Amino acid sequence: MVSKGKSGGGPALRPRIVKADRARIVAAARELFLSRGFVRVTADDIAAELGISKATLYKEFASKEEILREAVRAVMAEIAGRVDTIMKDDTMSFIERLAALSAFVVGRIAQFGPLFIRDIQRSAPQVWKEIDDFRREKIIINFKAILEAGRKRGLFRGDINMDLLLKMFLKLVEEFVNPAEILRSGRSPAETFESVIKVFFQGILTDEGRLDFSAVTPALFEPQKEGAS
């Protein structure tokens, strides 16, 4: 007779159930955090959204911050996967690849309101550090590859130091794509990032590169008309 808890019993399935439960909690919490901000969402809110008790919630997660951390890591994994896919897509031209990357990043940033970002900075600084480290790593690795490929194709100016360009771009992102500046300006994170991209690339494109880029990504690389906001 086979006793319960060994081969063939219910406990063997429990890890998959736990994993599914955790994923469901993280998915629901992520939507609440994005729509209301991290601080305003309580454990009771998350439990109510899922139709479970708070006690059940805390069986899976020790704290609300732990749920946030897992949600953020899931988003970062999705972003990393999509960026890598675009970077390795040989069916795209260089210009199409950069346009796809820009559109993807702008679209992703559009999901995160300034209050949500500010909440993480203030209330979950360790989670924010993970985001900041991820942002720096992905920018440095992929943006350097973009600059080198573009310069080889004669699309970017060759008289600018590559390492200096990378540092400049990081500083632009840090200075303008941050909660304090976004709240002060009244612009959305996506609008702010798009402006940073536009200003930066307009300065390093060759005349040939500017023509090629404007044909594929007019919103980012065409000069802004007078009076446009």
Q: What are the 10-residue block averages of pLDDT along the chain, 229 residues in total?
A: 47 46 92 91 94 91 95 90 88 79 74 79 92 81 80 82 80 67 69 75 80 64 43
8-state DSSP, 143 = I
Three-state SS for 205?
strand
Q: Provide the 10 A C-beta neighbour count for residue 30.
A: 18
How far apart (Å, rounded) are the C-alpha atoms in residues 134 and 75? 11
CA diameter of the chain: 83
**Alpha carbon distance 171, 166 (integer Å):** 9
Q: Tell me the CA distances in angstroms from 118 to 114, 127, 128, 178, 181, one per residue in order.
A: 6, 12, 9, 8, 11
- pTM greater than 0.85: no
pLDDT value at residue 226 = 40
Assign 25 to helix, strand or coil.
helix
Q: Of 57, 62, 4, give the one whose Cα is nearest residue 28.
A: 57
Topology (CATH) of 71-220:
Tetracycline Repressor; domain 2 (1.10.357)
Q: Which residue shows structure tokens 């007078």? A: 226
**What does the pLDDT read at residue 4?**
47
Distance in angstroms (rounded) separating the CA atoms of residues 152 and 155 = 8
Closest CA to 144 of 174, 169, 125, 175: 169
Domain ranges in the chain are 71-220
pLDDT of residue 32: 94
The token pair at 110 is 């559009």
- Tell me how many degrees the CA angle 165-131-203 measures, rounded to the nearest 5: 20
Residue with tokens 């307009």: 202
- C-alpha triplet 49, 130, 172: angle, nearest 5°: 110
